[in-house]
Chains A and B, each alone.
Chain A
Amino acid sequence: MEYFVGIDVGASTTKAVILDKSAQILGHSVIHSGADFGAAAEDVLHKASVGLKKENLGRKIVISTGYGRRNVLFADLTKTEISCHAKGSYHYFQRAHTLIDIGGQDSKIIKIDDGGKRIGFKMNRKCAAGTGAFLEEIANRLKIKIEKLNGLAEKATKNVTIGSYCTVFTATEILTKIRQNIRVEDIVKGIFESVIKRALEMDLLEGNIVMSGGVVAHNPYFVKMCEQKLGKEIFVPPLPQLIGALGGALFALETKGGKHA
C-alpha cells in the first residue's frame, strides 16, 4: 500500500493527513509548529502514522503546504495553502462555494466554482486582525486559556463592540472595558465579533459558505455567530483544522492519478 500525505505547516500549528489510494483518511495529527518547522513536520507525520505499517511509510508521496512548506525537506512537492485549502474544501463540498479559512496567522477567502476550480482568493493584509493570532494575543492579555474562549463567548449576555483594527489598541480598549466592569464573557464575544468582521469584510460573500481553520475547529460558537451575521447556514467540514493538509494529500494522490473526489 502506498500513502499520500499532506503536511500543512502553519504559523501556529502543523497538521498532517495521510490518505490511502481511495482517499480514505488513515491518520491525521495536529501539533504546535514551534520554532523548528522541519522538526515539526517530521513529528506530525510520526504522530499521524501511529498504527500504520512502517514499511508503507517508505512508499509515500508528500505534499507540503502552509507558511513553512519549504522547510519540509522530505516533501516531494510544495503547494500554497490557497490551493490546498480549495482542494480540501471541495472534497467535502462539491458545489460552487466560498471558503473562509481563519488560520493562526492569516485569514483567506477562496472562491471555488462548480467544478472545484479556484476562481479567486483574498488574504488578510499584513495585520493580525481577523486571524487566530489576534485571539491568542487577547486571550493572553486576559489571562484566559485559548480553549476557554468558546465557552465564555457562549455565556455572553451583551454585545460589546471592539472598534480597533490593531491588536495592540484592542488590548488597550479591553482594559477600558474591564475598568467599566463589563463582564469577561461579553468582552470575549466582542473579540469574536471583531475577528468575524475583519474576516468577512475581505470579500463579497454570496452563495454557499464553508468555513475551516483552527479558530473554526475549536470555537463552534464562533461559527454560529458567523451564521447569524450572514443570515445563512455555514458548512463546516469534518476536521476543519486539517483541510489544508487534506488538500495537500489529495494533490499527492492526484500525482498518481488516484481517485480523490
Chain B
Amino acid sequence: MSEEKKPAIKKIQATGHMRKIMADYFYELDNAMKQGSPKIAWCTSVGPAELLLSLGFLVYYPENHGAMLGSSRQAASYIPVANAIGYSPDICSYLTSDVGAFIKKETPLSRAYEGIEGVPIPDVLVYNTNQCRDVQDWFSWYSKELNVPALGISTYRNIGNITEDHLSSIEKQIKGLIPQLEEIGGNKFDIDKFRHILGLSYDCTQLWKKVLETNKSIPAPISFFDETIHMGPAVVLRGTETAVEYYEVLLQELEERVAQKEGAVQDEKFRVYWEGMPIWGKLRDLAEFFISLRTAVIASTYCNSWIFDSFDPDDPFMSMARAYTEIFIVRDENFKELYIEKMVDMYGINGILFHDAKTCPNNSNNRYGMPERLEKKLGIPALTINGDLNDLRCYSEEQAKTNIEAFVEQLANK
C-alpha cells in the first residue's frame, strides 16, 4: 500500500455559496465596528451565542480566527510574539497565534477580504469554559488590552452523568449574564427573540448533523478535511437563517453524491475516524495523502461538536445549558469511549486516528490510555500521530505520514 500520484480533491459545489456568506458575515462585522453599531460581542465557539444574538449583538468567534491563522499557515510567525509576553508555547496555539497576530496588527481577514484592516473590536467578551480554561485566559488578555468587559460561564469538567444540579448552575449563569449584556448592548432581553434564535440554531445544527451523517453511506461523500471547512457557518452563523439555508444547499449536494455513489475518495477501501483537532496547516496535504491511500477519513469528534440536539425553544435557558454541557469535551473518559464506540459502529469505521495536539490537551484524548482500551474493546486498530492545531513546529511531516501509511497497510492486512 503505497502513496501514489496525488489525485485531486473533489470540489464541493456549495463552496462558492459558503465563501459568499462568510464574506458577508465578516463585512457586516467590519461595518459594525466602523459605524459603532450594532455592538460586537466576541464569543467562544461553544459559548452562549444565541443569547448574544437575541440581544442584538453581532457575534465574532476568535477560535474561527485561530483556525484561519492555522490554515493560512501564518500562525508560526505570531506564536512567538505571544510567547515573548509570557504566554507559553505549550498552551493553546489558537490563543498564542491570535494574540500574537493582534499585537502585530495583522490578520488573514485583510488578505481574504479587501477593505478589512483588522479584526472587529469587541464591546464585550463572553466565554464558556466548557472547552478549556484557555478561552478564559485568552479573553482576559483582550479584556485588559482593550478595556472591555469579559463575562463568562464556568462549566463543570469531566462530567459523567449530567445532573439537574449541573444544569441549574449553568442556567443560572446564563441568566446572570443578561443584565450586563443589556447594559452594554443597549437592548432589553426579549424571550421570544431568544426562542426564535435558539430555534434557528437548532435547525442549523440538525442540518449539520444530517450533512455529517451522509457519510454513513459507502462510499462516504465528504471527507473530514472538507467538513472542517464547511462547518464554518455552523460555528459562526448558527442562529441565523443564512446558516440554515446554507446547510440545506450542502445537504442536497451530498445527498446527490450519495445517490450517485460518488465518494470523496475514489475507490474507498478503508474508513477512518479522526479523534482530536484538525492540523489546520495540513488539511489539503493530508486530504490528498489519504485519497492516495484510498482511505476515507469520514467521521470525527471535532465536527460533531457543533451538533446541539438539546436546543428547545420551549425551554430556552435550560435546554441551552444542557446543549452546551453535554458536548463531548466536557465529559468523562467513560462517556467519551462509549461515544466513539457508537461512532465506530454508526459509520462502519475500520480504524481510529488520534491526533495528539501538543498545545491542546483537552482535545487530545489519547493521553490516558483510550486508544489501547478502544483497540481491545472494538477489535480495530488505533493510531496516534503527534502534531498540533496551529503550531506546525510540533508536527513531523515524514513521521506522521509514515505512521499513517503503515496504519493503512495494517488495515489492508487485517
Interface residues of A (CB under 8 A from B): 67, 69-70, 77-83, 106, 117-121, 123, 125-126
Contacts and interface: CB of A to CB of B under 8 A. Distances in A.
Q: Which secondary structure dominates where chain A touches chain B? A: mixed
Contact of A123 (B1, B2, B381, B402): B402
A81 B401 CA distance: 12
B3 A70 contact: yes
B396 A126 contact: yes
A13 B41 CA distance: 57
B88 interface: no
Given A117-B413, A120-B381, A121-B406, A67 B3 contact: no
Interface string B231-257: 000000000000000000000000000
6 contacts: A79-B409, A80-B406, A82-B402, A82-B406, A118-B409, A126-B396
B399 A118 contact: no
B399 A106 contact: yes
Nearest to A75: B2
A70 B395 CA distance: 20
B402 A81 contact: yes
Contacts of B402: 67, 80-82, 123
A106 B396 CA distance: 12
Contact of B2 (A79, A82, A118, A126): A79
Contacts of A79: 1-2, 409
Given A118-B413, A120-B375, A123-B399, A80 B405 contact: yes
Contacts of B405: 80
Interface string B1-29: 11100000000000000000000000000
A9 to B, nearest CB: 12
Contact of A83 (B3, B394, B403, B406): B406
Given A70-B3, A82-B402, A125-B386, A118 B396 contact: no
Contact of A118 (B3, B375, B398, B410): B410
B391 to A, nearest CB: 12
Nearest to B414: A117
A119 B381 CA distance: 8
A144 B169 CA distance: 65
Contacts of A117: 413
A120 B405 CA distance: 13
Contacts of B394: 126
Interface in B372-414: 375, 381, 386, 394-396, 398-399, 402-403, 405-406, 409-410, 413
